[in-house]
Structure 1
């Protein structure tokens, strides 16, 4: 309660008591005028005090939509209250007049001119105050995509088989498969089910990619691909693999993205997994920094608390290793039903993203473990099974707007064996890659060198097939030369720009092609794709 308001109110009462003691000698007219003045002063003091008290009320919905001490905002309340005032032995009371209240002095000021307050502005201010915490939560929880490059695949190999020459070996083996089974536009078109003209554009791009950057993202596996071994054997593998990876980085032979997958935080493997994680990170740190592109994968997550534990481990390793806060980020591998739906019926994967506190960089779907846990027979386990589609749809909604990226799983039907078996394996993989791209999963796992052929061929065809239409629409949206009227909304324009940027990042499109077709530079496309809306 304001001391000024309280003093004003008590002085009014005191004045009333003093006046009452000497009013016997006052005539009837004077008493009537005095009564009116007293009523005005008491009403003003009371409502000034009340508005300050209500303004400090904890719930925004209980506040008056005005600032403390405002007189104008209480006029409707004064008028309606005064008009219903009961009568006394001195006769009926005169309703309180707006003019009197507006011109009446207050304890704070003797000015008789008070500016009118716009009710709509007060309403808008009140709503802003009531939603500010919601706005802050949305900005934190849904920051949008970072705009950095996302690899089109992740290749997994047992950690103890890694050496710096792995990417080159995979590239050469994939090129041999390309030459033997998809070395012409006709053959490639048959494998990836694309028009001949499109296959002709894609073929040289695939060949160049396999020579330049056959593996974009490589994960050294200490989990299923490594198996259960003695502590000494796993520790030795950590030492050797980390040394080989550091040598590859120094020699410029490491992929753009790389890291490790360690054992899960389930009770039987938890301690071993954390030890491997900690040892490998410690060996990779140089001058208080981790190499650019380094990440780790947390597999077989079955509880939100395991993600919280992962955050605690990351914080400990950062503190003990002299790393900057947030230097360690991780992917969550979604390969158990419990990571999609908790026992209480909530979407566990959404909560996992939230408790990761910005450290979760991706959600990777594990097709075979998840399908098996759902009771799907081995012959029918696939990234295209309905249970897989359900899980990936939940992942997609949970990650939308958070900046967490998605990756589909793997196919273990490798292009190996007879010529017919190799062709079947290539076509099968091509169909799965295209299916993922159509559903907004722009990354997947590759487990065999021959799968690089269809990974790049299908991915490049996906972007090139839709590039011309996307370029026309984004040019029309930005009012480019020769562009017609655009009917696309800002959200669609952002998606179009992001689509073209992804094509540039993976090598499906060239900068000259993009600028020639859209009239836009890469920076302009970035500004459209990552323009922050009110939600972000």
Structure 2
């Protein structure tokens, strides 16, 4: 009922205020636990290199080897498109961008491995390798030079009793070396493997806190990835899902969850011939990870394939087709990052990623422009879909699949407006 242009209401302001007061704690928890996307670039992959095999030119060497494979086995756009089944209209722009990427930034994220890929060494040897890793990461992340990864760091040994002390020492040597070289770089990434209990994550968070206190760093400056590669990291002994408690135990320091294909598959009893990122056991684990991380700002990374593009042309093409299919499959399932184990995987990583964003750019831009203009169209999009469309275009821009001019021409929107629509919060300074 209306009276003189006003509407009648029943609830007194005290009732509304009382509801707000009763939910104040929930509001605070929602803001703390589900802050949304961190607003930073997410690398499309992580490359693992053993700590003893690292050299200053490792990223550039990976790019050069990938280019050599491309020249040998797919020397032009048509050849690569034929191997991978890329649409003819996309062949030239995708091929050109793959070559440019391999020349300018072949590795987006490099993890120096002191765990499975490194093994057990004498303490003095691992100390020396950890100190060298710090110098190289400081060099790569401290300058904008061709061939340097935007992100780099180490994977330490896990928190299990047998290797815990060695893992902590390697972390200490590495972080201390970075601090002495000029400070922790913005692109620093740390990986905690083989997590089985949330208490191990809490222990890693404590180490980060203690290091910050010792060096006068801002609280929360050091974050880390949690590697999901044990059954206990998905389902606890009491039958409860454990990923969310692990994120909580990190106390705001968890940056991403990385799926470990082979350790997890083996822990489920999957035979070696069937251990792969598209196995049902892998899909289940990653689905649990995805739901647990949704809205938290913690990102996801798929695992890897161990089928390498080496040998004859037919063998290389077969491995490329497999890897390309797995990357495409992951992208469709919203796993925007994965592991690459060989320089030849860079070819199909970027080919799959670039084709994924380029083939959908025009339609995504059209839908987003219609949403902004409220002009309708043949799809009725909601704010949540607009966020997904904006995020899609931003990811294409971040990895080099799309140019700013292309996106703006197609959508009429600049990057700032896309970030607003995607709900990306401003990165922490």
TM-score, with structure 2 as normaliser? 0.93
Residues 1:278 and 2:176 are matched in the alignment: no
Work out which of the residue numbers 115, 132, 138 in structure 2 matches 1:240.
Answer: 132
Alpha-carbon distance between aligned partners in 1 of 2:269 and 2:378, rounded to the nearest angstrom: 52
Structure 1 equivalent of residue 28 of structure 2: 136
The size of the alignment, in residue pairs, is 415
Residue pair 2:357, 2:401 contacting (<8 A) in 1 also:
yes
Structure 2 equivalent of residue 157 of structure 1: 49
Alpha-carbon distance between aligned partners in 1 of 2:367 and 2:334, rounded to the nearest angstrom: 20
Residues 1:216 and 2:108 are matched in the alignment: yes
Q: After TM superposition, give the deviation of residue 247 of structure 1 in Å.
A: 3.7
- Residues 178-204 of structure 1 deviation map (CA, whole Å, 9 limit, x = unaligned): 122222232212232221111222110
Work out which of the residue numbers 373, 381, 399 in structure 1 matches 2:267.
Answer: 373
Work out which of the residue numbers 502, 515, 527 in structure 1 matches 2:420.
Answer: 527
Structure 1 equivalent of residue 238 of structure 2: 344
Taking a change above 3 Å as real, the CA distance of residues 168 and 287 of structure 1, as seen in their structure-2 partners, is closer
Residues 1:122 and 2:14 are matched in the alignment: yes
Q: Unpaired segments of 5 or more residues in structure 1? A: 1-116
Taking a change above 3 Å as real, the CA distance of residues 498 and 426 of structure 1, as seen in their structure-2 partners, is same
- Structure of greater Rg: 1
Q: After TM superposition, give the deviation of residue 346 of structure 1 in Å.
A: 1.6
Q: After TM superposition, give the deviation of residue 120 of structure 1 in Å.
A: 4.3
Alpha-carbon distance between aligned partners in 1 of 2:168 and 2:301, rounded to the nearest angstrom: 24
Residue pair 1:288, 1:322 contacting (<8 A) in 2 also:
no
Structure ranking higher on relative contact order (CA contacts 8 Å, 6+ apart): 2
Residue pair 1:477, 1:485 contacting (<8 A) in 2 also:
no
Taking a change above 3 Å as real, the CA distance of residues 282 and 176 of structure 1, as seen in their structure-2 partners, is same
Alpha-carbon distance between aligned partners in 2 of 1:398 and 1:227, rounded to the nearest angstrom: 31
Q: After TM superposition, give the deviation of residue 121 of structure 1 in Å.
A: 3.1
Structure 2 equivalent of residue 361 of structure 1: 255
Q: Tell me, what secondary structure is at the counterpart of 2:219?
A: coil
Work out which of the residue numbers 47, 51, 60 in structure 2 matches 1:168.
Answer: 60
Taking a change above 3 Å as real, the CA distance of residues 500 and 227 of structure 1, as seen in their structure-2 partners, is same
Structure 1 equivalent of residue 289 of structure 2: 395
Alpha-carbon distance between aligned partners in 2 of 1:249 and 1:510, rounded to the nearest angstrom: 24
Q: After TM superposition, give the deviation of residue 466 of structure 1 in Å.
A: 0.9
Q: After TM superposition, give the deviation of residue 323 of structure 1 in Å.
A: 1.9
Q: After TM superposition, give the deviation of residue 125 of structure 1 in Å.
A: 2.2
- Residues 376-423 of structure 1 deviation map (CA, whole Å, 9 limit, x = unaligned): 000000000000000000000000000000000111100011221111
Residues 1:491 and 2:384 are matched in the alignment: yes
Residue pair 2:98, 2:347 contacting (<8 A) in 1 also:
yes
Residues 1:326 and 2:220 are matched in the alignment: yes
Q: After TM superposition, give the deviation of residue 301 of structure 1 in Å.
A: 0.2
Q: After TM superposition, give the deviation of residue 485 of structure 1 in Å.
A: 7.4
Q: Tell me, what secondary structure is at the counterpart of 1:160?
A: coil
Q: Unpaired segments of 5 or more residues in structure 2? A: 1-8
Alpha-carbon distance between aligned partners in 2 of 1:473 and 1:145, rounded to the nearest angstrom: 22
Q: After TM superposition, give the deviation of residue 474 of structure 1 in Å.
A: 0.2
TM-score, with structure 1 as normaliser? 0.75
> What pairs with 1:16-415 in structure 2 (closer than 5 Å)?
119-249=11-141, 252=145, 254-286=148-180, 289-415=183-309
Alpha-carbon distance between aligned partners in 1 of 2:377 and 2:229, rounded to the nearest angstrom: 47
Alpha-carbon distance between aligned partners in 2 of 1:531 and 1:120, rounded to the nearest angstrom: 36
Residue pair 1:155, 1:445 contacting (<8 A) in 2 also:
yes
Alpha-carbon distance between aligned partners in 2 of 1:497 and 1:249, rounded to the nearest angstrom: 28
Alpha-carbon distance between aligned partners in 2 of 1:531 and 1:240, rounded to the nearest angstrom: 36
Structure 1 equivalent of residue 5 of structure 2: none
- Residues 314-370 of structure 1 deviation map (CA, whole Å, 9 limit, x = unaligned): 111111122221111000000000001111122111101111111000000000000
